[in-house]
């Protein structure tokens, strides 16, 4: 979990994306907020959702796997619900051309 959190934070910092980190280990209110705001279909079959979980304000974006996939596809800004800065790589869909 710690490695995944560091990976997300490192990416956000390196790309100068503003964020607010909420510590759920030391703050019961943050833990309760996260549990209440992770949609039912994104929760584990048993137990509580584990960090890191990403939100844009109170809109749930996804977990580490969703973030990692977006990063691999150069689509992190779209995943985060942000406009990509000029000159940045943005995920593009390419359809094969017809012969």
Q: Which residue has the higher pLDDT, 53 or 94?
A: 53
| Model pLDDT, residue 89 | 59
In the predicted structure, residue 88 carries a pLDDT above the cut 80: no
Q: Which residue has the higher pLDDT, 92 or 29?
A: 29
Q: What are phi and psi of 77, to 5 degrees?
A: -60, -45
Reported in sequence order, the residue ranges of 1-99 that DSSP labels E, i.e. its strands, are 53-56, 59-63
What's the rounded mean pLDDT across residues 55-81? 95
pTM: 0.82
Domains and CATH numbers, the chain: 1-80 (3.40.30.10)
In the predicted structure, residue 76 carries a pLDDT above the cut 80: yes
- H or E, element range at 20: none
Six token digits for residue 54: 């990403």
In the predicted structure, residue 59 carries a pLDDT above the cut 70: yes
């Amino acid at each position: 979990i710690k490695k995944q959190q560091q990976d997300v934070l490192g990416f956000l910092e390196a790309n100068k994306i503003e964020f607010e980190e909420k510590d759920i280990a030391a703050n019961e209110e943050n833990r309760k907020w996260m549990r209440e705001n992770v949609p039912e279909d994104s929760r584990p079959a048993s137990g509580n959702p584990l960090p890191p979980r990403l939100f844009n304000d109170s809109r749930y974006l996804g977990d580490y796997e969703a973030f990692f996939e977006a990063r691999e596809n150069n689509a992190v800004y779209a995943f985060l619900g942000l406009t990509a800065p000029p000159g940045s790589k943005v995920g593009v869909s390419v359809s094969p051309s017809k012969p």
